[in-house]
Structure 1
């Protein structure tokens, strides 16, 4: 029961931290320059989370970089995201088994 209460409280706090900025910023009108900057933030945050993982996949960073390059190429070619994930995981798994 205690764990359920902790999970519930954590869920409420998480949702409040996500919803509060919506209400605060809904009254503001930002310039085009600020909007352009803010639209790039999720991509930058995603890159910050993904890149360290790429470098720490196996014993050698080149294995993760190979998977990242495959993912980047397939993304550029506008391949389905499931195929991109499967291909990059397959490349990393294959290279890890050989290295």
Structure 2
């Protein structure tokens, strides 16, 4: 049983560590580099947007408004903590109104 667990750990670790050692040695075309640079933003959006729409059950507009406020603060280059606190405050204010 322990050999199966060790084998699964090795198989999981190889695809995670291999790109870190190989990517620096390859030169990608410009369009590939741009596409690879956009992946973190796309993944972040895919993770955050469902949470925004379900922050309060049955009232997705509250989360969308708070997300909009967070986007405005992010574009104004406010500190990340300030942006998060303002978004949380927006949700709080909109729930008590």
TM-score range normalised by the length of the shorter chain? 0.7 to 0.9
Residue-pair matches, total: 90
Give the TM-score taking structure 2 as reference length. 0.79
Deviation at 1:13, TM superposition (A): 8.0
- Which residue matches 1:50? 48
Unaligned runs of 5+ in 2: 1-8
| Distance in 1 (alpha carbons) for counterparts of 2:15 and 2:54 | 30
Q: What's the CA shift string for 1:7-46, capped at 9, x where partnerless?
A: xxx7x88765542211132332101110011001100100
State the structure with bigger RCO (CA 8 A, min sep 6), 1 or 2: 1
SS of residue paired to 1:26: helix
Per the alignment, residue 91 of structure 1 pairs with 90
Distance 1:88 1:18 in 2: 33
Structure 2 distance, partners of 1:14, 1:71, is 36
Runs of 4+ with deviation above 4 angstroms: 12-17
**Residues 32-87 of structure 1 deviation map (CA, whole Å, 9 limit, x = unaligned):** 11001100110010000000000000030001001101001111111111110000
